[in-house]
Amino acid sequence: MRAVFRLRVRVVLAVVLAVATLIVGRLYFVQVAQGAEYSRKAEQQFAAAGQSGLFDRGSIYFTTKNGIHVSAATLAAGYLVAINPRLLAAPTAAYDAISAVATTTLSKSAFLTAAANKNLVYVEVAHGLSSAAGQSLAAQNITGVELLPERWRWYPGASLATKTIGVVGYGSGSTLIGQSGLEEEYDSVLERSGGDLLGNFFATLFSGAGSTLVSAQNAREGDVVTTIEPEVETRLMDDVAAMNATHSSHSSGGIIMDPKTGAIIALASYPTYNPNDLTNVNPQLLENPLVSHVYEFGSIMKPITMVSALSAGVISATSTYNDTGCFHVDGSRICNWNYHAYGVIPMKTIIMQSLNVGASWVAEQLGHARMHDYFTKVFGSKTGIDLPNEATALMSNLSKPQQIYYDTASFGEGIAVTPVQMIRAEAAIANGGTLVTPHVVSSIVLQSGQTKELSWPSGPRVFTPQATRETASMMDGLFSQVLYNGKYNIPGIPVAMKTGTAQLPTPTGTYYNNRFFDDEVVFFPSNNPRFVILLYTEDPKNAIYGTDTITPPMIDLIHFLINYYNITPTEAGTTTP
């Protein structure tokens, strides 16, 4: 009996020793190996009345052309200021001291009213003080004034790509969540679930590397790495803002994308805002018009009409037609922009001279069913871009029986698409006929330290490779021969271009005679494309045509990209999409 008892005691002691060894080992791992992390979590538990902990959120990064990550959204640390009215003996002096270091203007009347309410013991009066400002105020040792650690969202680039990066704000409760842009789209990645420190401690202490709870969180939460190149984004934003100012436009925007992968290098719109100060920002500015607004793009739709007809085999690159300058259809008159009749001409002249009559003729060769089919494949669904609130194209005219709706759609009026849909369609001409998925995020850096590369599948092939080559050649001719008589031709680096000018629609469904939407699309080198660019300006006040409003900044942007990425004639080569 005694032998059995001693055996049981030894077994129990062995078990206790093993558990103790495990606990000591895990304590070392938690306190030493992960000590910094748990210090941060302990700091988060420090809270004043009404606070649940310090704000925490993942970061968003730009990516330079050399692969270096540059902060686009991060956390700033400092102090908030609170008062205890029961202890505050000199409210006016306290107000003066706090106002001297506050980052925003404090209402003196509101401050004194709060300070006079002796039923309160805690009132927050200022946020976002820097460490230096907080220390300066703390050194005055004012009774009834408290400084508490605080963290907030900070955007180092200020307005740089702000409509893409987005902002955070309070949701239905007191929790800060993503409200627009990538902050909203990737909120589940960027948010930090936090939780009870003691619970987290024991979860870590007694969980192995394969713990379901810990693994699920680590596999979701992380930092977001974008495809946006900060120097290119800066240049595009500057160009868009300058274009808007030069022509006193209602709004302007642009996108630069890799036509082969759909990776967006830069996207910008104006007017914009500084996300670090949303005090007086119109909520409508939080929208990204490049994704959520639709426009009638005018003549840059003509290459889509042309490549569709070439792909369908209803015309060839050598087909001709008799251009009469104007014609009537369904009781309406359609004319070329200059009312000129060109006579019997080939297909390339339609693109190079931007002829509405020619585009209408091509639409008639396509026929209603085929044109509806091609345009629906290209514009009938959302692009899948990883930004919120993507709008759907307005294409109901292509379900009507009258020919007039197909003719006007052929040159970009009567149907409306988003800028991101339009650049994806033009990219399909550049890359040989495939619809890519536009995207602005390339990877997620998980909290575990692992990098999760995101996969962005290509969509269906919508055009034939031969049709895209022939259409690109026509667009080359516009740039190298017609645009200012070839003034901007770049030897060895072919550029495919199409300009556009569309009348703006009125609220009643007609069109203004003196208000326009100008745009332009290019891709280059057109025989081995690196970039596709779309620029637009809405309602310019001192010019009509896109060649006046868009072409100058577009030419400068092309040369900037050629120099910045060191694109040479050798690199352009002879490859065709």
| Cα–Cα distance measured from residue 183 to residue 73, given in angstroms and rounded to the nearest whole number | 9
What does pLDDT average to over the chain?
88
pLDDT at 212 over 60: no
Give ∠ CA 137-142-145 in degrees, rounded to 5. Answer: 80
pLDDT at 216 over 60: no
- What pLDDT, in 10s, does the model give residues 262-301? 999 999 999 999 999 888 899 999 999 999 999 999 999 9
Give ∠ CA 290-296-301 in degrees, rounded to 5. Answer: 95
Give the domain-ending residue among 153, 182, 198. 153
- What pLDDT, in 10s, does the model give residues 180-191? 999 999 999 999
- Tell me, what amino acid is at 477? G
Same domain assignment for residues 342 and 419: yes
Q: pLDDT at position 377, please?
A: 97
Give domain status of residue 466, yes or no. Answer: yes
- Band of pLDDT at residue 22, cut at 50, 70 and 90: low
- What pLDDT, in 10s, does the model give residues 124-160? 999 999 999 999 999 999 999 999 999 999 999 999 9
* Closest residue by Cα to residue 440 from 61, 57, 58: 61
Q: How far is CA 154 from CA 73, 100, 196, 199, in A?
A: 6, 22, 26, 30
pLDDT at 39 over 50: no
Same domain assignment for residues 297 and 359: yes
* Closest residue by Cα to residue 130 from 138, 119, 120: 138
- Band of pLDDT at residue 94, cut at 50, 70 and 90: very high
| Cα–Cα distance measured from residue 225 to residue 244, given in angstroms and rounded to the nearest whole number | 30
pLDDT at 304 over 90: yes
User: In the block, which residue shows the tokens 């920002």?
Assistant: 281
Q: How many CB atoms lie within 10 A of CB 74?
A: 16
- Band of pLDDT at residue 329, cut at 50, 70 and 90: very high
Find the length of the chain: 577
Does the CA dihedral 465-466-467-470 come out positive or negative?
positive
* Closest residue by Cα to residue 271 from 522, 537, 84, 7: 537
Q: pLDDT at position 53, please?
A: 67
Phi, psi of 395 (to 5 degrees): -130, 25
Give domain status of residue 305, yes or no. Answer: yes
Same domain assignment for residues 130 and 250: no
Q: What is the CATH number of the domain that holds 518?
A: 3.40.710.10
User: For 475-569, where are the E strands, in sequence order?
Assistant: 496-505, 511-524, 531-538
Same domain assignment for residues 15 and 149: no
Same domain assignment for residues 82 and 10: no
Q: What is the CATH number of the domain that holds 84?
A: 3.90.1310.10
Q: pLDDT at position 26, please?
A: 58
pLDDT at 211 over 60: no
Q: pLDDT at position 5, please?
A: 57
Question: Cα torsion for 223, 225, 226, 227, to the nearest 10°?
Answer: -170
- Band of pLDDT at residue 46, cut at 50, 70 and 90: very low
- What pLDDT, in 10s, does the model give residues 344-363? 999 999 999 999 999 999 99
Q: pLDDT at position 279, please?
A: 84
pLDDT at 224 over 70: yes
Residue 344 exposed, middle or buried by CB count within 10 Å (0-12, 13-18, 19+): exposed
Give the domain-ending residue among 153, 180, 213. 153
Phi, psi of 277 (to 5 degrees): -145, 95
Q: Please tell me which residue, 227 or 209, carries the higher pLDDT value.
A: 227
Alpha helix stretches (DSSP H) within 63-207: 91-101, 108-116, 131-138, 162-165, 181-185, 187-190, 197-205
pLDDT at 474 over 70: yes
* Closest residue by Cα to residue 554 from 236, 258, 262: 236
pLDDT at 103 over 90: no
Tokens of 370: 């085929």
- What pLDDT, in 10s, does the model give residues 310-326? 999 999 999 999 999 99
- What pLDDT, in 10s, does the model give residues 375-390? 999 999 999 999 999 9
Residues 504-526, mean pLDDT to the nearest whole number: 94
Give domain status of residue 11, yes or no. Answer: yes
Q: pLDDT at position 336, please?
A: 96
Same domain assignment for residues 266 and 147: no
Give domain status of residue 198, yes or no. Answer: no
Alpha helix stretches (DSSP H) within 29-107: 35-45, 91-101
Give domain status of residue 512, yes or no. Answer: yes
pLDDT at 101 over 80: yes
- Band of pLDDT at residue 47, cut at 50, 70 and 90: very low
pLDDT at 11 over 70: no
Same domain assignment for residues 398 and 484: yes
Q: Please tell me which residue, 43 or 269, carries the higher pLDDT value.
A: 269
Element containing residue 150 per DSSP (H, E): strand 145-154
Give the domain-ending residue among 93, 124, 153. 153
Give ∠ CA 550-297-469 in degrees, rounded to 5. Answer: 85
- Band of pLDDT at residue 430, cut at 50, 70 and 90: very high
- Band of pLDDT at residue 40, cut at 50, 70 and 90: very low
Residues 488-510, mean pLDDT to the nearest whole number: 94
- Band of pLDDT at residue 174, cut at 50, 70 and 90: confident
Residues 438-467, mean pLDDT to the nearest whole number: 93
Same domain assignment for residues 469 and 346: yes
Same domain assignment for residues 554 and 415: yes
Domain of residue 118: give its range.
75-153
Same domain assignment for residues 20 and 87: no
Same domain assignment for residues 92 and 22: no
- Percent of the chain topping pLDDT 90: 77
Q: pLDDT at position 6, please?
A: 64
* Closest residue by Cα to residue 73 from 14, 186, 158: 158
- Band of pLDDT at residue 207, cut at 50, 70 and 90: very low
User: In the block, which residue shows the tokens 């006193």?
Assistant: 248
Give domain status of residue 427, yes or no. Answer: yes
pLDDT at 88 over 90: yes
Q: pLDDT at position 285, please?
A: 93
Please name the residues in contact with 278: beta carbons below 8 A apart, sequence gap of 6 or more.
167, 169
Same domain assignment for residues 26 and 84: no
Q: pLDDT at position 448, please?
A: 84
Please name the residues in contact with 552: beta carbons below 8 A apart, sequence gap of 6 or more.
none
- Band of pLDDT at residue 194, cut at 50, 70 and 90: low
User: In the block, which residue shows the tokens 């968003």?
Assistant: 60
Q: How many domains does the chain have?
A: 3
Q: pLDDT at position 7, please?
A: 62
Phi, psi of 198 (to 5 degrees): -65, -40
- Percent of the chain topping pLDDT 70: 85
